[in-house]
Amino acid sequence: MTHMEIELQAIKTEVMNMWVLVESQLQKSKNAIMHFDKDLAREVVLREKRVNAFELKIDRDCEDFFAIYQPVAIDLRFLLAVMKINNNLERIGDIADGIAKYVIESLSDFDRNVFAKTGMIAMYEEAIHILTDTRTAFEKEDTALARSIFKRDEVLDGYNLAAIQNVGDCIKKDIEVLNDALYVLSIIRKLERVGDQTKNIAEEIIFYVEAKVLKHLDPKAKQNG
């Protein structure tokens, strides 16, 4: 491998490490919600600083690479994609941090009936699986897997669209769950944004591997390439 190839691989490794950390943050925030574990929630909040540190280092490393090597073709596309993916991952980390803070600030455990009625836990699990599969697509340069994310994001959108009705039904049935229901609605909104950020990452993977820009295309066109 040339020195330039070694540097590119090092940047990719950094991105993968950040990705794993963000997945862990999202998983731990889910566990904190499910078990009302304030200590775990505080761990997520503390680890958010590591996510931010990764973002800053990856940006600096990409900028240094541009200055030294002036990359072209697929190497240029890779670095441009990495800088956007880096930002998307940092935002997902922010989302995990925000959800963890709900656990910290809540005075009592959340009503499990609201979880069940809204499908929040199932939505959470799917959001984590999508993020993991997108990492695999990035690692293996698998654009078919990346394209599958667009369809799966629609599942998260479906949970989000049904959320207001489902939350409203919970409140009508028992006004005592009002605060819990509003927390759950906020979490669902955040998970929908995880889907959006992951979809953006999938677009960047396709851009750098295939040199195709998918932004502003309709969903079917994105899925079909």
Q: CB of 63 within 8 A of CB of 129?
A: no
pLDDT of 225 reads 60
Residue 92 and residue 207: Cα distance in Å, rounded? 21
pLDDT of 219 reads 62
- Report the sign of the C-alpha dihedral through residues 215, 217, 218, 224, in that order: negative
Give CATH for domain 3-224. Answer: 1.20.58.220
Q: CB of 79 within 8 A of CB of 65?
A: yes
pLDDT of 215 reads 67
pLDDT of 178 reads 93
Q: pTM for the complete prediction? A: 0.93
3-state secondary structure the chain: CCHHHHHHHHHHHHHHHHHHHHHHHHHHHHHHHHHCCHHHHHHHHHHHHHHHHHHHHHHHHHHHHHHHHCCCHHHHHHHHHHHHHHHHHHHHHHHHHHHHHHHHHCCCCCCHHHHHHHCHHHHHHHHHHHHHHHHHHHHHCCHHHHHHHHHHHHHHHHHHHHHHHHHHHHHHHCHHHHHHHHHHHHHHHHHHHHHHHHHHHHHHHHHHHHCCCCCCCCHHHHHHC
The neighbour count for residue 73, using CB atoms within 10 Å, is: 8
pLDDT of 218 reads 61
How would you write the pLDDT of the chain (225 residues) with one tens digit per residue?
899 999 999 999 999 999 999 999 999 999 999 999 999 999 999 999 999 999 999 999 999 999 999 999 999 999 999 999 999 999 999 999 999 999 999 989 999 999 999 999 999 999 999 999 999 999 999 999 999 999 999 999 999 999 999 999 999 999 999 999 999 999 999 999 999 999 999 999 999 999 887 665 566 656 666
